[in-house]
């Protein structure tokens, strides 16, 4: 059986206010063409289908169109699970009639113990869940109350869930798992290079590859780079789109999908890269370099989005930095500074805030960020706001 392994679509994602829907639509078309060209038997979406639990109308209609094109127009089965960004209960609808068209969507823990069976493979689908979900499930299963109370971490839960799945194994078939968790190579190794809220998997506890060793192959979502895969048979597909600067800095890793072919005697995996429609380019240069034509003419001006860090910038220049950079480069989705040089005016960060009036704090903050003083109109606006706040007190 041949799968297209994808994950972390995050439909509806934005980048500092810029919609990524067009980029996601582009990646989807490329992904679908890969599936057709490679004559896959199914498309896997290993969680984080949407970017948020309550997606926007545009996100819902976009995903609906994508899923219809895969499943109805091209008659390709879909194996999808919910991730930590998805609203599991909101996604859990119409399962019975969806399965009639080979659209298998698992969002709840109790559904994970009903594998999909083909002539060669058992496909287990384990959505993202937290330890409390496992407590509820095992309490309903009649597990001893003390054992239920001992489910505190995701590792505690998995030590029950995975063996229960293994009891369902058909010895005559390969066993494939689709899931959405942070999985490390071993207990003493942490996952780096993640797209979650910190560089250590969003602060989430990680599982280990050894816990999944009974499965022939595990298709994971949650970490946005395939290079974080903890074992040869426990793999992340990575996200199909660059979602932030951290991911853009890992440009050499590429974004794309895996084609996974499972046969009775072997499992083969091939990575297919997806080129972005509008790339996200990260520049970290001095102000003089950024304004130097010999430098910026080598950049994909007006063809890409730019995330720019200005090094050693002198705030005394008193210029509108973003406007100047957008005049040269086009769309600047993120602007930051490194080792900023300041003029001789007082720095609010170096003063005792109790010695400054609220108006002065705002004035100093504005100057720190923009390099300019507040105009008279802006000062009057700030003053009016603080007057109104005092009235409410």
Give 279-304 pLDDT, tens digit per residue. 999 999 999 999 999 999 999 999 99
* C-alpha 242: how far from chain center: 9
What's the CA gap between 241 and 224, in Å, rounded? 9
Strand, coil or helix: 367: helix
Token duo for residue 284: 């970290």
Token duo for residue 373: 């003083």
Residue listed under structure tokens 């392994």: 5
Comparing 9-13, 281-285, 343-347, the range with the smallest average pLDDT is 343-347
Domains of the chain, CATH where assigned = 2-273 (3.60.21.10), 280-392 (no CATH)
Helix (H) or strand (E) holding 106: strand 103-106
What's the CA gap between 13 and 252, in Å, rounded? 23
Which of 44, 61, 66, 51 lies closest to 20 in space, CA to CA? 51
Q: Which of 82-91, 257-266, 377-386 has the highest mean pLDDT?
A: 257-266
What is the average pLDDT score of the chain? 86
Burial 182-221 (b: 16+ CB within 10 A, else e): bbbbeeeeebebbbbeeeebeebebbbbebbeebbbbbbb
Tens digit of each residue's pLDDT (9 = 90 or more) over 219-262:
999 999 999 999 999 999 999 999 988 888 876 678 999 999 99
Q: Which residues pair with 42 in a beta bridge?
A: 3
For residue 100, pLDDT beyond 90: no
């Amino acid at each position: 059986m041949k799968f297209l392994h994808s994950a972390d679509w995050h439909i509806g994602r934005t980048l500092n206010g810029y919609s990524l829907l067009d980029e996601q639509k582009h990646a989807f078309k490329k992904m679908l063409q890969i599936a057709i060209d490679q004559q896959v038997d199914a498309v896997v979406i290993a969680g984080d289908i949407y970017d948020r639990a309550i997606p926007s109308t545009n996100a819902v209609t976009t995903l609906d169109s994508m899923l219809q094109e895969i499943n109805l127009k091209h008659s390709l089965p879909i194996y999808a699970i919910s991730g930590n960004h998805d609203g599991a209960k909101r996604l859990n609808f119409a399962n019975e009639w969806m399965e009639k068209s080979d659209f298998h969507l698992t969002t709840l823990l109790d559904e994970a113990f009903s594998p999909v069976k083909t002539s060669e493979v058992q496909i287990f689908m384990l959505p993202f869940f937290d330890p409390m979900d496992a407590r509820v499930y095992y309490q309903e299963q009649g597990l001893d109350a003390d054992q239920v109370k001992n489910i505190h971490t995701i590792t505690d839960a998995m030590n029950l869930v995975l063996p229960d799945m293994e009891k369902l194994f058909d010895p005559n078939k390969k066993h494939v798992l689709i899931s959405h968790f942070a999985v490390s190579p071993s207990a003493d190794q942490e996952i780096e290079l993640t797209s979650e809220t910190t560089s250590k998997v969003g602060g989430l506890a990680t599982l280990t590859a050894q816990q999944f060793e009974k499965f022939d192959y595990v298709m994971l979502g949650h970490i946005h780079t395939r290079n974080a895969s903890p074992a040869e048979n426990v793999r992340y597909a990575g996200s199909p789109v660059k979602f932030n600067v951290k991911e853009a800095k890992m440009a050499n890793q590429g974004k794309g999908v895996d084609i996974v072919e499972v046969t009775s005697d072997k499992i083969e995996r091939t990575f297919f890269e997806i080129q972005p429609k509008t790339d996200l380019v990260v520049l970290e240069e001095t102000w003089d370099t950024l304004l130097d034509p010999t430098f910026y003419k080598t950049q994909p001006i007006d063809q890409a989005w730019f995330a720019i860090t200005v090094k050693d910038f002198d705030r005394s220049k008193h210029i509108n930095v973003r406007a100047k950079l957008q005049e040269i480069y086009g769309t600047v989705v993120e602007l930051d500074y490194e080792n900023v040089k300041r003029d001789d005016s007082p720095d609010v960060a170096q003063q005792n805030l109790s010695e400054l009036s609220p108006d002065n704090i705002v004035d100093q903050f504005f100057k720190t960020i923009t390099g300019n003083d507040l105009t008279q109109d802006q000062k009057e606006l700030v003053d009016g706001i603080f007057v109104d706040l005092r009235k409410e007190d």
